[in-house]
């Protein structure tokens, strides 16, 4: 029996990937990577124009079909409609990347003793409830009937270990909040539970937990953050998340489910 080549194992040609929060930052990088590996891509933003503009960039760069959709992942009706719209456009969903997330933080409102309840609720709704809702409807409408699929959730090193908040000294950044840490810890363990349940449908569920990726941060923050990382630097935006998402989406990871993969320069290895 001829075994597939390594190139074939990583090939995503004509699969369909839905990437929530795919219009910018790491979400855009992952959507672009999946298209570069051959997949057609649906990506979302809460702002339709942003999603459409990013989709056009991906289509132009890769020659794959890419379509932008507006969706607030906190709203179940909106998520259910998103999945219906993606299926109407592409006919299938093979890969779901639950990337949509947010945190609102300033030095004044970050600490648990001053954290507003509405910010706690908002952060959990976007990061954790949104992951649940997108998974629920992608599975029910697309992956369970097809008896196949790869789901990749976005956790964070903040969901794995406590943060050294001294890294934010001398900067205007609020940094990691208790609600963000709780939400991302929930995403990581939700991944394990979903992996065990959805294996019966040949659906794999894994998690990527990024560390800090550089996006124009100040020199002060960049240097203080790098001190916490064995590799001595922040992640390179646009590059160092791509391999992880393509691997976990592909047949190269066909016997891998339920893992949390830190992409953090070794921060959680100290």
Q: pLDDT (tens digit, 9 = 90+) per residue, 2-29?
A: 899 999 999 999 999 999 999 999 999 9
Any idea of the CA torsion for 98, 196, 94, 242, to the nearest 10 degrees? 50
CB-facing half-sphere around the CA of 92: CA atoms within 13 A: 13
Question: Given this model, what pLDDT does residue 198 score?
Answer: 98
User: What is the torsional sign of CA 75, 98, 36, 241?
Assistant: positive
Structure tokens at 117: 């309840």
Q: Which residues contact 227 (CB under 8 A, 6 or more apart)?
A: 167
CB-facing half-sphere around the CA of 251: CA atoms within 13 A: 12
Active site residues: 180
Task: Please check the confidence at residue 104 and state whether its pLDDT lies above 90.
Answer: no
Question: Given this model, what pLDDT does residue 179 score?
Answer: 96
pTM of the model: 0.97
CATH architecture of 12-263: 3-Layer(aba) Sandwich (3.40)
């Amino acid at each position: 029996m001829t075994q597939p080549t390594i190139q074939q194992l990583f090939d995503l040609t004509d699969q369909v990937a839905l990437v929530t929060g795919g219009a910018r930052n790491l979400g855009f990088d992952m959507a672009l990577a999946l298209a570069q590996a051959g997949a057609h891509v649906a990506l979302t933003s809460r702002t339709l124009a942003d999603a459409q503009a990013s989709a056009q960039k991906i289509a132009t760069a890769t020659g794959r079909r890419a379509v932008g959709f507006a969706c607030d992942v906190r709203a179940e009706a909106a998520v259910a409609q998103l999945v219906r719209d993606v299926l109407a456009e592409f006919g299938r969903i093979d890969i779901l990347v639950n990337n949509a997330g947010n945190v609102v933080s300033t030095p004044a409102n970050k600490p648990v003793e001053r954290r507003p309840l509405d910010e706690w609720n908002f952060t959990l709704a976007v990061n954790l409830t949104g992951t649940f809702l997108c998974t629920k409807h992608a599975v029910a409408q697309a992956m369970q009937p097809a008896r196949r699929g790869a789901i990749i959730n976005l956790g964070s090193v903040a969901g794995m270990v406590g943060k050294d908040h001294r890294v934010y000294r001398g900067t205007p950044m609020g940094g990691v909040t208790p609600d963000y840490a709780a939400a991302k810890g929930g995403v990581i363990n939700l991944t394990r539970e979903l992996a065990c349940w959805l294996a019966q449908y040949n659906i794999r569920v894994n998690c990527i937990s990024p560390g800090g990726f550089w996006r124009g941060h100040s020199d002060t923050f960049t240097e203080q953050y790098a001190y916490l990382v064995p590799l001595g630097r922040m992640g390179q935006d646009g590059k160092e998340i791509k391999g992880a998402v393509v691997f976990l989406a592909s047949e190269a990871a066909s016997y891998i489910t339920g893992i949390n993969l830190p992409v953090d320069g070794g921060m959680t290895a100290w």
